[in-house]
Structure 1
Amino acid sequence: MKYLFQIFLVFMFFGCVSKEDKKPVITKNTIYKPSEMAVLMLKMYDANLENKKLILEGKKPTKFSEEFLNIHTATLTDPTDRDVAFKGYSDFYLQNYKIVFETDKDSLKLMHNNTINSCIACHKTTCIGPIPKIKKLLIQ
């Protein structure tokens, strides 16, 4: 019995000895490449952030980016997201965005917030991740 216990301890000792952990070998670097839509939406974010700053300074935004019209054709991360709802939200965003450049200074804050809220409404249906960041564009 004593020998059986000693053999048991020897097996436990060698069983618990950690062998060198094998780390996965990365043979190829994987670089994330954002979709055309992701890049376009980052540009939209930057433009709306600039508009927010101008409005808070009492100035009217003047740079309407024609590039944003590519919202209808830019490649999406998931192509199945381009559906009737996406088209409707895209049109709604562009309509609100254009109004910011056509409105008087008294309505700028409201029109800017309408534009940002159109982004939030669309993102609530498909890609909710950026909503907290988008909400920072609202003028309180």
Structure 2
Amino acid sequence: MRKLALVFLLISIFSCKKEIPKKIIIVERKRVNQSEMAALMLKMYDKNLENKTLVLQGKEPKDFPKEFLNIHTAQLTDPSNRNPAFKMFSNFYLNSFKKVFTTSKDSLILKHNNAVNSCIACHETTCVGPIPRIKKLLIK
């Protein structure tokens, strides 16, 4: 009986494994050759996402980001895209976006969606790739 207990004890001791902590690997995202316009549009996306969150909470967005005025001068990935249509869409976006910061609470959703739709309208003519992501900014 003692031998059986000793064997059981030895098996129990040696079958215990030391738990190895899991390593967390952090991978940095690198952006390759990003144009000024691409960087600016990512900031625009982030600001519109922030505005969406505020509007859904019933709060009014504050402080129109002046750096968005650089839309007229930021270097494009493809410089040939800076044409009269681009200028028109840029002005349309800025005007729509500014209204989000100067409107009453009752029309915030409408003004926010108008600004987002102005992004979509431009992207329908050039660089259609981000449209699905931009549509997620709309408030339904």
Do Structure 1 and Structure 2 share a fold, with TM-score over 0.5? yes
Q: SS in structure 1 opposite 2:118?
A: helix
Superposed CA deviations along residues 37-85 of structure 1, whole A, max 9, x for unmatched, are: 0000000000000000000000000021000000000000000000000
2-structure distance, mates of 1:113, 1:39 = 22
% same residue: 67
- Aligned residue for 1:13? none
Work out the CA distance in 1 between the residues paired with 2:40 and 2:58: 27
Provide the rounded CA distance (Å) in 1 between the counterparts of 2:99 and 2:60.
12
| Match of residue 89 from structure 1 | 89
What is the letter of the counterpart of residue 116 of structure 2? Answer: I
What is the CA–CA distance in structure 1 between the aligned matches of 2:110 and 2:37, rounded to whole Å?
A: 26
Cα separation, 2, equivalents of 1:117 and 1:89: 11
Is the aligned partner of 1:40 residue 2:50?
no
Report how many residues are paired. Answer: 110
Counterpart-to-counterpart distance in 2, 1:108 and 1:70:
24
CA distance in 2, matches of 1:39, 1:54: 23
What TM-score, normalized to structure 1?
0.78
Amino acid at match of 1:55: V
Match of 1:134 in 2: 134
Extract structure 1 runs of 4+ deviating beyond 4 A: none
Runs (5+) with no aligned partner, structure 2? 1-30
Tell me the CA shift for residue 32 of structure 1.
1.3
Aligned to 1:105: 105
Correspondences of 1:48-63 after superposition (within 5 Å)? 48-63=48-63
